[in-house]
Chain A
């Protein structure tokens, strides 16, 4: 059988294409160009915004395959995995990548089993081995202590999830053209043994540390719960989200959705600031792909300075008030 084209699995919410999906197109475009094949975006939903579909083309796709059905309105593992697997079996792409979001990391393992192929999780780098066309998949493992490079030489399609925010979307190019095709799948595969009863938006607006461009995190160095407010204030001044070390969460200064690190979330913001966080291996594992890291800690030996692009070794209780004041002055 011949396998051709690079696919990206796009995501939508309420019919709007998510930003991570535009980022993923950048990766897909790079791979498709190297392979000299088409880049196809796959999108599942109920009624997807037409402009968003066109934007998938403007931002890199040659073709968009849309599957609309009421059972695909929002993510449910079974109909999503079945639909993606059936499209793969119909068209035989050589590569399919998805964002390593809660959706991507849930649906792709099931798709890989249905297609009996390999899947590499949470890649931070993807490339093509020119002689073979193999996808070179690089990802951190063992708590970020190593980088493993993985290939899927004998199975197709090659599948990977890609760490969100580990690259930027392409600037939309309105001169790009491509087909938007609406496909139907067999109703029988859209059945779900799971029903979504409700959705509770996290009331803490600063909790979405995975999608934020700026994450300001606090740790044990803040000494007590009241002091954690200083972190929230700085995050608000920078329009950022609030992160926390495991210790800070265990002490209940912040809730679990804020936790950064191996037993919390991995973040890749444009800017990460660690305040009063020593930088355990587990914490560092969660931030290593952040674009810029700043650390404030009184201990010059703190591990966090190893990964910092800019660091201030000083008492955070002296630094934060000065920083807050200067940021406030800039805001005005």
Chain B
């Protein structure tokens, strides 16, 4: 199987701090990591390779340092990596990003499968995966929680929706976005880390992928971020600290009154 895994490098958002004046993120000292939800895509690709043989190509678009994310993916078991990095790509929204990635993926035709994380934890859109599939005109599905069968020209997958799970048969080549439930991502092995360190990661620009320039970067991006603001942090709620049993009883009565006032009961 030839599998392609598009990944994104994101800021470690769990301890992100915001500038209260400007409402922007303080990037100093913020570590860059592989989008945590991409780890499930990488792991699934490696599992499939271990079971069916084949090779895995990791592809990412971002600044030069995004090479680190590609090396980390290689240390987990991916074979090769390509970084799309050029000032012409800067400022891309999901339309331009999915276009650039799809152009690069075309260079690796024929492939069997593209696996993406459900969404990136910074932008949180989940639009790039389906976008790539639409540009490539290949079948796709989202929220995949299990790959049940891999056949000659199709796969059977399980997709999580609000009320349960769909079982789908999808023709290959196809694109899947996967969710956390699908596996437990492994840690990089020592051998993997050594391989990743030595690997040459190619950096490609617009000409390498035959991209139309007006489809790239800020120019090729229909959406504009016009304002960043800080969400209301505190709701200023009533916080009770009962000191004894009767105060606790009152606090619970207060909760029941609250539920009644809000017409929840």
Interface residues of A (CB under 8 A from B): 77-78, 81, 101-103, 105-106, 108-110, 112-114, 116-122, 136, 140-155, 192-202, 208, 210-211, 213-214, 238, 256-257, 259, 262-264, 270-271, 280-282, 288, 291-294, 300, 305-314, 318-319, 322-323, 326-327, 330
Contact = CB atoms under 8 A, between A and B. Distances in A.
B235 A147 contact: no
Given A141-B124, A145-B231, A307-B234, 13 more contacts: A77-B139, A77-B141, A109-B130, A118-B222, A118-B223, A145-B13, A151-B224, A152-B222, A193-B170, A193-B174, A196-B168, A202-B164, A306-B235
Contacts of B15: 281
Contacts, number: 270
Contact of A270 (B36, B159, B264): B264
Contacts of A117: 95, 222
A142 B226 CA distance: 16
A103 to B, nearest CB: 8
Contacts of B265: 238, 327, 330
Task: Give chain B's interface secondary structure class.
Answer: mixed
A312 B223 CA distance: 43
Interface string B92-106: 011100100000000
Nearest to B156: A197
A199 B161 CA distance: 10
Given A211-B162, A271-B264, A311-B240, A113 B134 contact: yes
A310 B125 contact: no
Interface residues of B, number: 87
B241 A313 contact: yes
A153 B228 CA distance: 17
Contacts of A259: 180
Contacts of B163: 201-202, 208, 211
Given A200-B167, A318-B248, A327-B256, A263 B16 contact: no
Contacts of B142: 77, 102, 105-106
A146 B230 contact: yes
B37 interface: yes
CB-based closest 9 A-B pairs: A118-B222, A113-B134, A193-B139, A155-B222, A109-B130, A149-B227, A118-B223, A121-B125, A198-B167
